[in-house]
Structure 1
């Protein structure tokens, strides 16, 4: 188990235009962020990491898409990055679909404006590839944005509908008792109970109506602490190595931030376990990186790629994916996504025959502003 600054992307295979694109990344995002804050309602109130979201991941994919030597035709091919972005926008912002579309347009415009200031001259084919990638990404983000709202509405509506049965049952029993008794005092107590539960039911119905237009999902309580994610990643790798699960390579940056250590540990353990279960014999790589205030925690393995039709579905609860003869991914990846989302982030997968499979958790380095229900803990629980 070693540490190095290695990253997933093999920059030696990138075209000149792709290297130029990467060299002006910070300028592009600064320009884009300023434009979004100026034009899109609600963006001005968002903290930087929440606004940037996982677009840096899409940006790197874009560099690969304009490199003939890399088998990625568009920035979204083999990746759920755009869908993860749309999900975060639905859950964590007040953006509507028009705002989501507009931010992608501004993203494309920022690349063009900054390229002019850097005086780079790219052929029309490169610009066509960039535009096509951004258009596809915006469509995928919008589709997942709508799907996230629908999942939220269904989940909350189902829960509230189920809970409504309790006060209805009490009211029904109370009404039957009033009809049967000649005891005025007992009838009065039953009527008072009916009124109390009717008020409760009315409140629940208001919650149900709110759920039909809810913009954010409720998240479970988290125990937050300050720790270095690279230490946690190394500890998890060591834990699996002791069980003859290796070899492992832990690479990347020392990233100190505020997260729920038990939850992040369980999520990482799920990803490592899946990598060992579904990957071919070989190294499993855990990478920690910080990009513009966000932690990128990824687990990579080689092996048969996840089919495109199943990439997004594998995050679903009780979805059981059959891969390499191994039945799995019933609830583990659903938990991984839940942990990422509860920290104000998202989970994504990038899978192809050439590059292998990489699951990535993208969350703010300091998740405290994005967590609704949290308990602070002075000591980490790594």
Structure 2
């Protein structure tokens, strides 16, 4: 069992709504995994732990953010889970950034499908859930594919100065310069 990033395993002071939401984690994650495998190219062949990665802990963080007594404001605050998730996707999967965004959208859909009729979530709760997932999408995409692309796994950045700043040695800079001059 994966716990939220601050290891609050007792859920002290949580409301019945938050407790019901948290109790649906495994069902939400199972639904999410099945949907991701069906709808995202490249996900079908990933091992379960590689696919779910940090998302169960992120779900727990969202539950904490839903609690009025917990200091976490959104599921991604005070943690690097989303960044770690994105880096793992960039490093260990054939995913592109749009696949990662789609994963998060499916998580939102899975939460909606499995809480409907089971958990009375209000507008404020959905604002927290949406803000959490939106922040996680931004945090997981930004550094992951910038790094992947700078190491030759994707398209090179469009800005030559971005490439030049990434050069760490004179031979790399000269090679980049030659490549850019051939483009013109």
Q: TM-score range by the shorter chain?
A: 0.7 to 0.9
- Offset, 1:119: 2.4
- Offset, 1:140: 0.5
Residue in structure 1 matched with residue 47 of structure 2 by the alignment: 47
Q: Deviations over 1:231-260 (max 9, x none)?
A: xxxxxxxxxxxxxxxxxxxxxxxxxxxxxx
From the superposition, tell whether residues 158 and 129 of structure 1 become closer, same or farther in structure 2 (CA, over 3 Å). Answer: same
Distance 2:17 2:119 in 1: 8
Secondary structure class of the residue paired with 1:13: coil
Distance 1:119 1:54 in 2: 25
Structure 1 residue 130 corresponds to structure 2 residue 129: yes
Secondary structure class of the residue paired with 1:68: coil
User: Which ranges in structure 2 are unaligned for 5 or more consecutive residues?
Assistant: 1-5, 153-162, 180-184
- Offset, 1:14: 2.2
Q: Deviations over 1:51-97 (max 9, x none)?
A: 00111111111111111101110111111000000100100001101
Secondary structure class of the residue paired with 1:108: helix
How many residue pairs match? The answer is 156
Residue in structure 2 matched with residue 143 of structure 1 by the alignment: 142
Which structure dedicates a bigger proportion of its chain to helix?
A: 2
User: Which ranges in structure 1 are unaligned for 5 or more consecutive residues?
Assistant: 1-6, 163-204, 210-382
Distance 2:124 2:70 in 1: 16
Residue in structure 2 matched with residue 37 of structure 1 by the alignment: 37
State the structure with more CA Rg.
1
Higher relative contact order (CA 8 A, sep 6+): 2
Residue in structure 2 matched with residue 170 of structure 1 by the alignment: none
Q: CA RMSD in A?
A: 2.5
Distance 1:69 1:92 in 2: 37
The alignment's TM-score, normalised by the length of structure 1, stands at 0.38
From the superposition, tell whether residues 16 and 48 of structure 1 become closer, same or farther in structure 2 (CA, over 3 Å). Answer: same
* 1:315-334 correspondence runs (5 A): none
Distance 1:79 1:151 in 2: 25
User: Is the Cα contact below 8 Å between 1:43 and 1:51 reproduced in 2?
Assistant: yes
Which structure dedicates a bigger proportion of its chain to strand?
A: 1
- Offset, 1:19: 1.1
User: Is the Cα contact below 8 Å between 2:59 and 2:75 reproduced in 1?
Assistant: yes
Distance 2:92 2:21 in 1: 29
- Offset, 1:151: 5.3
The alignment's TM-score, normalised by the length of structure 2, stands at 0.76
- Offset, 1:150: 4.3
List, as ranges, runs of 4+ consecutive aligned residues in structure 1 with deviation greater than 3 Å. Answer: 150-154
User: Is the Cα contact below 8 Å between 2:61 and 2:76 reproduced in 1?
Assistant: yes
